[in-house]
Amino acid sequence: MLRSLYIQNYALIEKLDISFGAGFSVITGETGAGKSIILGAIGLLLGQRAEVKAIRQGASKCVIEARFDISAYGMEPFFEDNELEYEEECILRREVYASGKSRAFINDTPASLVQMKELGEQLIDVHSQHQNLLLNKEGFQLNVLDILSHNDEQLSAYQSLYREWKQAQQELADLIARAEQNKADEDYIRFQLEQLEEANLSAGEQEELEQETDMLSHAEEIKAGLFRVGQLLTSDEGGLLAGLKESLNTMLGLQKVYSPATELAERLESTYIELKDVSQEVSSQEEDVEFNPDRLEEVNDRLNLIYTLQQKHRATTVEELLTLAEEYAAKLAAITSYDERIGELTTLCDTLYNKVRKQAAVLTKARTGAAREVEKQMASRLVPLGMPNVRFQVEMGIRKEPGVHGEDTVNFLFSANKNGSLQNISSVASGGEIARVMLSIKAMIAGAVKLPTIVFDEIDTGVSGEIADRMADIMQEMGEQDRQVISITHLPQIAARGCAHYKVYKQDNETETNSHIRRLADEERVEEIAHMLSGATLTEAALNNAKALLGIKR
């Protein structure tokens, strides 16, 4: 439960540090004194969006910090799951800077707003006046049934199946769309693939053909060059081989009288052998080279086919064309397998749908039981709140298709009059009746959920007199069940029932206005409640009435 609240430089609050206790407490104050400011600060601790304009004028940042006693609420799993240090006193802190930056801390460890919101929802429930509008929202009504039926595990199991089913449905829809698109392109893909396959391309082919066409185009020039080289090597008159042979013989003759000639003879012999081999190879290649216009035409036709395919498919190499052919083949294989894959996914969707429906039926059964309990409890709670002829019914139906919360539809029907027809609650209930209905629902929920702190922001709007007393009874009873209930109220009947009474007020000086809050002493409570009864002027009758409300003997 909330032990203390510290606010610095937030709106009209320069500095506020207040402690709270267990049970039922009340907060009073004139309109505009700053009660909504305090709720806004608490909202920041619950992960709500921070606005720079909320920072007190002239300050660089605002700080909101709350301390909660969580020793009795079994919240260790949250801290373990989020890798945060668990302590029996939990500290939530939010800092908002004038630069627009915002920081959140849980037990002095930086935390995300998602973490703060998740933890805050387990620590405190703030019921503001606008929440009365939720009464007509199906999501809120469904959540009431889920809370009272304690079906968290069943709902979690359902939503897991639901996500699987919707994901499979999406995959099936995507697959069908791709299949339709690819089948429309099938003829085109098949034609392109057949054209590439008919070309019978091979890696490295283009380079070899380009070299061959160069050779065939210059065959006569090449043959003449090889003939000339052969003549220079083998001619009987002035040929290199003949001269080299003669030089070798001369050196062999000199080696007996001139020792260096031996080495020179060996080198000449090696050169002679190499040149003779070159001569034979030149002669052989000369015989092989011939001008072949038919082969040249064949090679050029083949290259033109390759160039045409490259230009058509925007490729630069044969290898790219081969890769493209593989891609076309893979697409055709995928197209032929679409029907089988679509059939498999359709079967999976049907199987998951049946599981979703089966689990949804489990939720429906639990919610139906909770709905009857809600009807019973609401009647017993609303009659003492000034609705002797009240009728409250939970109307349930089935959706055409399961949704994220199941396949149930829920509608709260209400009639406060004896002969009135049951209608949607927001259509027939007055503001005061809706406030009483919401209080009764909150009381039911509080009994089912171990929520440490509940804050009611003027839930007594539209009621007075004896009904206010009855509403105070409910809040007081809630505060006695190991729970902290704080009510912001303008009604003296409710203010008198709190075990602690806090007053919010403003003070002006020459330059600024400050909002404050403090706990009232017993004598101060008498005066505050008397003011709530009679206005600014205190009368003896108002003071006596205040003492009577507080149970103080005169």
State residue 487 phi and psi, 5-degree precision: -120, 125
In a domain, 373, yes or no: no
Binned at pLDDT 50, 70 and 90, residue 359 comes out as very high
pLDDT for 420 equals 80
**Cβ proximity of 499 and 19 under 8 Å:** no
pLDDT, one tens digit per residue, over 192-226 is 999 999 999 999 999 999 888 888 888 888 888 98
Asked if pLDDT for residue 477 goes beyond 70, the answer is yes
Mean pLDDT computed over 182-196 = 85
pLDDT for 317 equals 92
In a domain, 354, yes or no: no
pLDDT for 25 equals 94
In this structure, the answer to whether residues 204 and 329 fall within a common structural domain is: yes
In this structure, the answer to whether residues 201 and 294 fall within a common structural domain is: yes
- Is pTM, for the whole model, over 0.85? no
In a domain, 462, yes or no: yes
pLDDT for 135 equals 67
The per-residue pLDDT of the chain, averaged, comes to 88
Name the domain boundary from 320, 336, 352: 336
Helices 240-254, 219-234: inter-axial angle, 10-degree rounding: 30
In this structure, the answer to whether residues 215 and 322 fall within a common structural domain is: yes
Helix ranges (H only) for 255-317 are: 260-288, 293-313
How far is the C-alpha of 197 from the C-alpha of 204, rounded, in Å? Answer: 16
In this structure, the answer to whether residues 120 and 195 fall within a common structural domain is: no
Range name among 48-52, 263-267, 356-360, 447-451 with the lowest pLDDT average: 447-451
**Cβ proximity of 88 and 75 under 8 Å:** no
Asked if pLDDT for residue 512 goes beyond 70, the answer is yes
Binned at pLDDT 50, 70 and 90, residue 182 comes out as confident
Asked if pLDDT for residue 505 goes beyond 60, the answer is yes
Mean pLDDT computed over 379-399 = 90
Give the residue numbers spanning the domain of 16.
1-127+452-520
Mean pLDDT computed over 285-294 = 83
In this structure, the answer to whether residues 190 and 123 fall within a common structural domain is: no
For the chain, how many structural domains are there in total? Answer: 2
In this structure, the answer to whether residues 225 and 88 fall within a common structural domain is: no
In a domain, 356, yes or no: no
Binned at pLDDT 50, 70 and 90, residue 131 comes out as low
Binned at pLDDT 50, 70 and 90, residue 408 comes out as very high
What single-letter DSSP state applies at residue 536? Answer: S
Nearest CA among 457, 526, 516, 452 for reference residue 488: 457
Name the domain boundary from 306, 336, 366: 336
Binned at pLDDT 50, 70 and 90, residue 114 comes out as very high
Give the Cβ contact number of residue 337 at 10 Å: 11
**Cβ proximity of 125 and 455 under 8 Å:** yes
In a domain, 396, yes or no: no
How far is the C-alpha of 1 from the C-alpha of 363, rounded, in Å? Answer: 32
Asked if pLDDT for residue 81 goes beyond 80, the answer is yes
How far is the C-alpha of 277 from the C-alpha of 284, rounded, in Å? Answer: 11
Query: Integer distance in angstroms from the first to the last C-alpha of the chain?
Result: 35
Binned at pLDDT 50, 70 and 90, residue 109 comes out as very high
Asked if pLDDT for residue 137 goes beyond 60, the answer is yes
Binned at pLDDT 50, 70 and 90, residue 129 comes out as low
pLDDT for 315 equals 92
Asked if pLDDT for residue 473 goes beyond 60, the answer is yes
How far is the C-alpha of 495 from the C-alpha of 546, rounded, in Å? Answer: 10
In a domain, 498, yes or no: yes
In a domain, 66, yes or no: yes
Pairing status of strand 453-457 against strand 124-127: parallel
What percent of the chain shows pLDDT beyond 70? 98
pLDDT for 502 equals 94
In this structure, the answer to whether residues 293 and 206 fall within a common structural domain is: yes
In this structure, the answer to whether residues 248 and 327 fall within a common structural domain is: yes
Asked if pLDDT for residue 395 goes beyond 60, the answer is yes
In this structure, the answer to whether residues 198 and 90 fall within a common structural domain is: no
Q: Nearest 5°: CA angle at 386, between 450 and 419?
A: 115
Range name among 237-241, 263-267, 349-353 with the lowest pLDDT average: 237-241
**Cβ proximity of 488 and 514 under 8 Å:** no
pLDDT for 553 equals 61
Asked if pLDDT for residue 10 goes beyond 60, the answer is yes
Range name among 176-180, 458-462, 526-530 with the lowest pLDDT average: 458-462
Mean pLDDT computed over 397-419 = 90
In this structure, the answer to whether residues 192 and 265 fall within a common structural domain is: yes
Q: Could you tell me if residue 17 is left (phi over 0), alpha (psi between -120 and 50 degrees) or otherwise beta?
A: beta
CATH number at residue 472: 3.40.50.300
Name the domain boundary from 286, 304, 336: 336
How far is the C-alpha of 445 from the C-alpha of 435, rounded, in Å? Answer: 15
pLDDT for 134 equals 63
In a domain, 440, yes or no: no
Asked if pLDDT for residue 132 goes beyond 60, the answer is no
Burial class (CB in 10 A: 0-12, 13-18, 19+), 14: middle
Asked if pLDDT for residue 130 goes beyond 80, the answer is no
How far is the C-alpha of 532 from the C-alpha of 524, rounded, in Å? Answer: 12
In this structure, the answer to whether residues 319 and 191 fall within a common structural domain is: yes
In this structure, the answer to whether residues 213 and 327 fall within a common structural domain is: yes
Chain centroid, CA 268 distance in Å: 86
